[in-house]
Amino acid sequence: MAPAEQLRRAVACVAILNLAYFGVELSVALRIGSVSLLADSADFFEDAAVNLLIFAALGWSARARARAGMAMAGVLLIPALAFLWTLYRKLADPAAPDALQLGLTGTGALVVNLGCAFLLARHRTQAGSLTKAAFLSARNDAYANLAIIAAGLATARWPSIWPDVVVGLGVAAMNLDAAREVWTAAREEHTEAPRA
């Protein structure tokens, strides 16, 4: 199978996995009032969108893919904005989320993200900034999921909103850094690509 076809299959699989777990994590986040899970669920939705865009953009020119990469840098900011909104709501009504559901949902997210990162790792340099965006997002999400699991453990020991809030801040910061990296890579590709 050609490398481009292998990449198409990988990003299609990753998009489906992310979209499915977005629904799971969003429903749990809303039920238990978790800031970090809500921010992470927005991140799963963003990952699904990035991978669907990669699937569609593989036949595009290098300049068009670079422009799409720059747009994806903006999409990577969505989870940070979702976090700010949920943080505002959480501070207005401070109640600790259910620690067990927080930890179990974070564990499920970790399994999904590790699977996605594994699927994308060998393709991360293939389609320029787009596949770099997808790989960085899956990798960062796995780190965020470990932090969500730790927040669940901390909340079980010391019931408080703060472990959840601190992890949410971390998820937002990682997404801002990934957006910066993707923007930089896409700008370089756009500059170096021949004009059509």
Residue 147's identity, in one-letter code, is A
Per-residue pLDDT of the chain (196 residues; tens, 9 = 90+): 677 788 889 889 999 999 999 999 999 998 998 989 988 888 888 788 778 877 877 777 777 777 777 777 777 677 667 778 878 888 888 889 999 999 999 999 999 999 998 888 877 666 566 677 777 778 778 888 999 999 999 999 999 999 999 998 887 777 777 677 767 777 776 777 666 5
DSSP the chain: --HHHHHHHHHHHHHHHHHHHHHHHHHHHHHHT-HHHHHHHHHHHHHHHHHHHHHHHTTS-HHHHHHHHHHHHHHTTHHHHHHHHHHHHHHHS--PPPHHHHHHHHHHHHHHHHHHHHHHHTTTTTTTHHHHHHHHHHHHHHHHHHHHHHHHHHHHHS--SHHHHHHHHHHHHHHHHHHHHHHHHHHHHHHHSPP-
CA 60 – CA 81 distance, rounded (Å): 30
What Å distances lie between residue 14 and 119, 140, 166, CA to CA? Answer: 8, 15, 28
Query: Is 25 within 8 Å of 154 (Cβ atoms)?
Result: no
CA 196 – CA 192 distance, rounded (Å): 12
Quote the pTM value: 0.79
